[in-house]
Amino acid sequence: MKHGYLLSVCTFAIIHLGSASENGLARTPQMGWNTWAKFGCGISEETVLSMAKAIVETGLDKFGYQYVVIDDCWHAPSRNQSTGAPLADPTLFPNGIKKLAGDIHGLGLQLGLYSSAGSMTCARRFGSLGYEEIDAETYVSWDIDYLKYDNCYNEGQSGTPLISYNRYKKMFKALNATGRPILYSMCNWGEDQPWNWASTIANSWRISGDLTDNFGRYDDRCPCTSMLDCKLPGFYCSVARIIDFAAPLGSKAGTGGWNDLDILEVITHFSMWSILKSPLLLGNDLTSMSQDTWDIITNDAIIALNQDPVNSAANRVFNRSIEGGGSLSLWVGNLVNGTTVVAIINTSSKHQRLHLSFDEIFIDWLPARTFSYRVFDLWQKTIKAGETLDFSQWTNSTIWGVDLGIRTASLSGIDVGVHATRLFKFVPW
C-alpha cells in the first residue's frame, strides 16, 4: 500500500511576465548538447548539424535531449559596422545561423547560441555588454531558442550581487522585450552568489568555475573549498569539488530556474548531476559514442530523477571522511508520489561497504522511518544479463532499475566502488 505523505505537485501557468522562470521554459532542467567540451573553437555549420543529426539518429531526442548549443567562436571578426548587429563567421557558417536554426528545427530540436556579458567572449570574440538589445533582436531574427551567457571581460562589473544582477538583467530585459521565449542560461561561474538572485532573471545559472575531466584531484586553479563566499571561482574544478559546492544550494533552485553544475564531461558523474537537478548538457562526440556511453546517458531511470516534477534537489545527509582521503556521503531527495531517491557516493580510493538505517535515510521525516519500501537499484538493467538494448527498441518502458524487494528499517550490504555512486529509488509499500 502506498503512503501519500510527501509533496504534492503544484500546477503552474505558462506566462510571459517579469522573470525568466515565468517564460514557460525549463520547467524541469534542460537537456541537450554543447559544442565546447569536444570541439572548442573548432566548430562549423557542418559540425553542429552533424551532432544534431546524431542526436536523432541515436535516439537521444527520445530521452529528452533537445537543445543543440553553439558555444564560443561562431562570431565574425567584427560586428556589422552600420548597425552594430552581431554577425556569424561567413566561412564557418556559410549559410548563416538562421538557415542552420531551420535545419535544427526540422529535426525536431532547438538551437542555442553563446555570448558573454562582457566586452569580449572568453575566446576574445565580440561580447554583448552594451549591445544587449541589438543582440537579442538578432538572435530572435535567427530563430534562436537558447542563450548561454558567459562572464569574461566584464569590465569590473562584478564584486557584489547587485552589480552582477544589474549586468545580467540587461540581457534578460532585452530577451523578454522580443516576445520570443528564449531559455536564458547564465554562466557567471558562481560569482557574487547567483543562486540568491538569478532565479528572478534566468532559467539556469552556473554555480562554480569550469569542470575538468577528473573525479577528485585538487587543482590550485579551482582554489575555493566552498562557493558561498568564493572570490576566485577559477577552472579545472573536479567532479567531487563541484558536488561539494552544490551540496548546500539545492533549495535555491526549482521550476524554471536551476543550479547548473556545468557540461557533462566525466560520464560517471551522470547520477549526481541528475539528482542535484542540474541541466544535463552533453559534451562528447555523439557520432562516435561507445555502447557503454550511450547506455549511461540514456538511463531512463536516472533521467526520470532529473526530470521529476517535484523539482526538488537531493540533500546531503552526511559526509564521512575516509582514512587516506576522500569521503562517503549520503544524499536523499523527494520524488513524485511520495517516492524517495537515495544516493551513496564514494570519493575515496578505497572500496566501501555500509549499512544504512531508515533513521539515517529519513532523518528529516520521522513517520517515513516506520514504512516499508520496495527498493530499486537504478544502475542495474531490467533486461537479462548479456542482452543489449538500443534506442530503436525503446518504447517508454523502464530499461533500468532492478527490483531489490521490500525493505523495512534498513538497507544493508551496500557496496560502493572507488569513485562510484550507488543510486536507489524507495517506493512506499
Return d(Cα 150, Cα 168) in angstroms, integer.
Answer: 10
Complete DSSP assignment for 317-373: EEEEE-TTS-EEEEEEEE-GGG-EEEEEEE-SSS-EEEEEEHHHHTTT-GGGGGSEE
Active-site residue among 61, 72, 150, 192?
A: 150
Return d(Cα 258, Cα 202) in angstroms, integer.
Answer: 9
Return d(Cα 6, Cα 414) in angstroms, integer.
Answer: 26
Query: In a 10 Å sphere around its CB, with 0-12 CB exposed, 13-18 middle and 19+ buried, how is residue 414 labelled?
Result: middle
Catalytic-residue membership of 300: no
Active-site residue among 210, 244, 260, 262?
A: 210
Identify the residue whose cell numbers are 546531503. Answer: 316
Return d(Cα 246, Cα 168) in angstroms, integer.
Answer: 22
Q: Residue 259 carries which DSSP code?
A: E
Between the CA of residue 202 and those of 117, 266, 353, 393, what are the distances in Å? 13, 26, 41, 37
Name 329's bridge partners. 319, 345
Are 7 and 334 contacting, i.e. CB atoms less than 8 angstroms apart? Answer: yes
Return d(Cα 258, Cα 280) in angstroms, integer.
Answer: 11
Are 247 and 254 contacting, i.e. CB atoms less than 8 angstroms apart? Answer: no
3-state helix vs strand vs coil in the chain, percent to 5: 30, 25, 45
Catalytic-residue membership of 210: yes
Name 282's bridge partners. 33, 264
Return d(Cα 111, Cα 39) in angstroms, integer.
Answer: 17
Identify the residue whose cell numbers are 573525479. Answer: 215
CA 67 to chain centre: 12
Hey, is 168 helix, strand or coil? helix
Pairing type for strands 352-357 and 421-428 reads: unpaired
CA 192 to chain centre: 20
Return d(Cα 90, Cα 274) in angstroms, integer.
Answer: 38
Report, as residue numbers or ranges, the catalytic residues. 150, 210
